[in-house]
Amino acid sequence: MAHKPPKLVIETALTVTIVLVAFSSSNFRRSVVHNAELFMQFMIQDRKPALQSYLASIEAAILTNGSVPLTAKAMKDLGVTWGTRGGAGEKEVQNLSMFASAASPYDVHFERNHPAVK
């Protein structure tokens, strides 16, 4: 008969193997989660100034456009066109459409406020 290793040695080897595999898997999972967290933190740090700059440029554009008197007039015209469908402002919309051969009051206002775009 062939020599058999003792049962205690086999059980001990299996137990050590299972413990090492579990420990290794746990460390690997923790490492993956940690690396993903670091990546997200660096990405946020990298994108934050760009986003703040973009939002500042939008705010500057709004303030610039808001300070132009023609913007207020264009907003008033848009309000007349879309804010009053029937009712008190209907007469204003009809009067505006007399000045152009456009199909809608919006087209009238657009042509008046954006003459360069044809």
Instruction: Give the SS3 label for residue 89.
Output: coil
**What is the separation of C-alpha 98 from the centre of its chain, rounded to a whole number of angstroms?**
42
| 116 phi and psi angles, rounded to 5 deg | -75, -20
Print pLDDT tens along the chain (118 aa).
467 778 988 999 999 999 999 999 999 999 999 999 999 999 888 898 999 999 999 999 988 888 888 887 877 877 777 665 555 555 555 555 555 454 566 777 777 777 766 6
**What is the per-residue pLDDT for 95?**
58
Q: How far apart are CA 2 and CA 5, in angstroms?
A: 10
Please report where in the chains the tokens 């660096």 appear, as a residue: 42
Q: Any long-range contacts for 74-78 (C-beta under 8 Å, 24+ apart)?
A: 74/109, 74/113, 77/109, 77/112, 77/113, 78/106, 78/109
Domain range annotation of the chain:
71-118
Residue 101: per-residue pLDDT: 52
Check residue 100 and give its pLDDT: 47
For the chain, give the number of residues: 118
Q: Cβ atoms within 10 A of the Cβ of 77, count?
A: 20
